[in-house]
């Protein structure tokens, strides 16, 4: 038997004032996207913003549905927008933020499992990693250099060959 270890590295900032201008602006765009969320059931609004390799910034938000679990997360809404409007253009950075109507929103959250899978696949399709900027409505901010770092054993198209 061999034992292996997986480590994930990330940078932690006390708040947005410690970020560079571009990262702070992208996180602010994600916070603005929260207002576009439709989350009447969970009361958990998520906003995401992506900076594309052509410099364009796009936003997406979670969209729930009474026919649970037919809703879609902000990250996948945003990836759909990016690939539909700008096919083949890489997402360089994605900021994700949230507002929890039933609790606090003062710490970073991470994409759910299906969003991690979708981010990983998108990175493969455009052959470029996505840098993640994660923060709540206030408080600490985490920066992860590659979305695939969040899903080290991703199921990929290579597994289907």
| Residue 64: both structure tokens together | 């729930």
Residue 47 and residue 52: Cα distance in Å, rounded?
Answer: 17
Q: Pairing mode, if any, of strands 11-13 and 141-144?
A: antiparallel
Residue 106 and residue 2: Cα distance in Å, rounded?
Answer: 40
List, by residue number, the catalytic residues: 75
Q: Pairing mode, if any, of strands 131-135 and 91-100?
A: parallel
> Which H or E element spans position 122?
helix 113-126
Q: Phi then psi for 59, rounded to 5 degrees?
A: -125, 155
String of DSSP letters for 66-81: SSTT--B-HHHHHHHH
């Amino acid at each position: 038997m061999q034992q292996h270890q997986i480590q994930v590295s990330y940078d932690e900032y006390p708040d947005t004032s410690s970020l560079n201008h571009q990262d702070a602006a992208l996180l602010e765009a994600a916070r603005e996207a929260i207002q576009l969320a439709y989350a009447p059931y969970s009361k958990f609004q998520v906003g995401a913003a992506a900076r594309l390799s052509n410099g364009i910034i796009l936003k997406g938000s979670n969209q729930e549905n009474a026919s649970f679990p037919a809703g879609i997360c902000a990250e996948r809404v945003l990836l759909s927008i990016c690939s539909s409007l700008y096919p083949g253009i890489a997402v360089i950075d994605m900021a994700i933020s949230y507002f929890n109507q039933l609790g606090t929103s003062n710490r970073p959250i991470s994409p759910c499992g299906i969003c991690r899978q979708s981010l990983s696949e998108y990175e493969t399709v455009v052959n470029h990693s996505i840098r993640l900027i994660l923060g709540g409505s206030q408080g600490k901010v985490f920066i992860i250099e590659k979305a695939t770092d969040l899903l080290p054993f991703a199921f990929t198209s290579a597994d289907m060959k």
